[in-house]
């Protein structure tokens, strides 16, 4: 045992007085992620080679750590295993960065099996994929925890299990920020459920898609300070719930709650009228404010008619005006809505970017001609309109 540990330690490349790089994968001395999790020290970097890793679950306890996939994307398949009965990876309490990793197929007895269980500290996720997990990513409820997600994909909620499966479930943490990410193919649960004090969603494609049967697309059950800018948020025809964005359904946890929505495109593909945004004023703090600016609704439904607050520049379009199934989400040069909107007030609600497929963003050039909705340009979000399932 001591000889094996010595060999593993020799595989580490020293990068400073205390930091090291641990490379995991075929042909390396460290051949499992679980071994790397045991060896890594605070400040180290773990590089995981592309390939498939089955049942290679881990608990990360370091105070600071970077984990990156290299030479392709590592695919982590739960294969019936989980760390602590929770997830493929559990992050205990530290400052963690995770880039270019894929998490698939987590199942545990309590129905909350996640690709990642984030318990405390700060976690930054980028360029990752979460598919077919009971919960794509699930957090604990520490009020000092922070979660940052960028350029990632959450998809394909399982159709089995004892609980509702959410693609992303954020507990009562201080802040979550999500940018340039895609959420699709839910089932009965929500695409995004956030109980965070601060929820910041910008330039995401939160569209369930033809195969999706999610309930709410965005659920903010305890209020909080929520900012939604430049997102495409769409409900499939198969959804059993007409509400697309829900605010305060379970009552207040956070004081000083407010909802601000600017330049989002909200889409309903159902046969019945949608409730594009619903708030539960009777359950929220009395001083809760709601502000909407320059949002675009597509399909049958109600938006600000039943929504208290300050509203301006929002425009409706008839069903079929956009085609999210093929990512035809931009308005043409000849659209009567071009240049119709005034600059969003307050200025903090002005979008700075747009979503691009399959994930990521592109910056918006300066303009004085604003259009309602998530797209200011006429260029589609991808060059070839071929959308995989």
Q: How far apart are CA 58 and CA 96, in angstroms?
A: 14
Q: Cα separation of 103 and 105, whole Å? A: 7
CA distances from 210 to 18, 326, 377 (A): 50, 11, 25
Helix H or strand E encompassing 316: strand 315-317
DSSP letter, residue 357: S
- Between the CA of residue 377 and those of 40, 141, 329, what are the distances in Å? 46, 39, 10
- CA 385 from chain centre, in angstroms, equals 23
321-355 residue pLDDT tens: 998 888 889 998 889 999 999 999 999 999 999 99
Residue 15 has pLDDT above 50, yes or no: no
The mean pLDDT value of the chain amounts to 92
pLDDT digits (tens, 9 = 90+) for 212-224: 999 999 999 999 9
Contact 166, 136 (CB under 8 A): yes
Contacts (Cβ under 8 Å, ≥6 apart) of 44: 12, 19, 20, 21, 22, 62, 65, 66
- Contact status, residue 149 vs residue 169, Cβ threshold 8 Å: no
What is the structure's pLDDT at 3? 39
Q: Where along the chain do its domains lie?
A: 15-363
Band of residue 240 on the pLDDT scale cut at 50, 70, 90: confident
Tell how many helices (H) and how many strands (E) occur in the chain: 2, 34
The SS3 assignment for 126 reads strand
Topology given in CATH for the domain delimited by 15-363: Pectate Lyase C-like (2.160.20)
What would the pLDDT profile of 27-38 be if each residue is shown by its tens digit?
999 999 999 999
Pairing state between β 301-302 and 353-355: unpaired
Q: Which two tokens stand for residue 248?
A: 């305060």
* pTM score above 0.85: yes
């Amino acid at each position: 045992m001591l000889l094996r540990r010595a060999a593993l330690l020799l595989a580490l490349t020293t990068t400073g007085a205390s930091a090291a790089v641990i490379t995991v994968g075929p042909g390396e001395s460290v051949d499992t992620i679980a071994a790397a999790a045991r060896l890594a020290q605070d400040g180290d970097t773990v590089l995981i080679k592309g390939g498939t890793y089955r049942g290679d679950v881990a608990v990360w306890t370091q105070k600071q750590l970077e984990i990156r996939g290299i030479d392709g994307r590592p695919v982590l398949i739960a294969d019936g295993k989980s760390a602590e009965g929770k997830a493929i990876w559990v992050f205990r309490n530290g400052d963690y960065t995770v880039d270019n990793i894929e998490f698939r197929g987590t199942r545990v007895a309590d129905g909350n099996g996640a690709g990642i269980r984030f318990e405390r500290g700060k976690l930054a996720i980028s360029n990752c994929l979460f598919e077919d997990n009971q919960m794509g990513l699930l957090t604990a409820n520490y009020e000092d925890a922070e979660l940052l997600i960028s350029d990632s994909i959450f998809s394909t909620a399982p159709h089995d299990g004892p609980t509702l499966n959410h693609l992303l479930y954020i507990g009562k943490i201080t802040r979550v920020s999500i940018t340039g990410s895609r959420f699709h193919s839910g089932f009965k649960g929500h695409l995004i459920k956030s109980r965070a004090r601060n929820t910041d969603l910008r330039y995401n494609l939160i569209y369930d898609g033809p195969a999706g049967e999610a309930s709410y697309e965005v659920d903010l059950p305890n209020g909080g300070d929520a900012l939604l800018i430049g997102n495409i948020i769409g409900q499939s025809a198969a959804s059993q719930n007409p509400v697309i964005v829900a605010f305060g359904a379970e009552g207040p946890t956070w004081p000083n709650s407010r909802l601000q929505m600017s330049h989002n495109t909200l889409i309903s593909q159902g046969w019945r009228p949608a409730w594009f945004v619903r708030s539960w004023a009777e359950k929220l703090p009395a001083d809760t404010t709601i502000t909407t600016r320059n949002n675009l609704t597509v399909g049958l439904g109600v938006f600000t008619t039943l929504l208290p607050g300050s509203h301006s520049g929002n425009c409706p379009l008839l069903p079929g005006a956009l085609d999210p199934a093929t990512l035809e989400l931009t308005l043409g040069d000849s659209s009567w809505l071009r240049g119709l909107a005034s600059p969003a007030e307050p200025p903090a609600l002005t979008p700075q970017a747009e979503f691009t497929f399959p994930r990521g963003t592109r910056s918006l050039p300066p303009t004085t001609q604003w259009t309602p909705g998530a797209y200011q340009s006429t260029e589609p979000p991808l060059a070839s309109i071929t959308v995989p399932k």
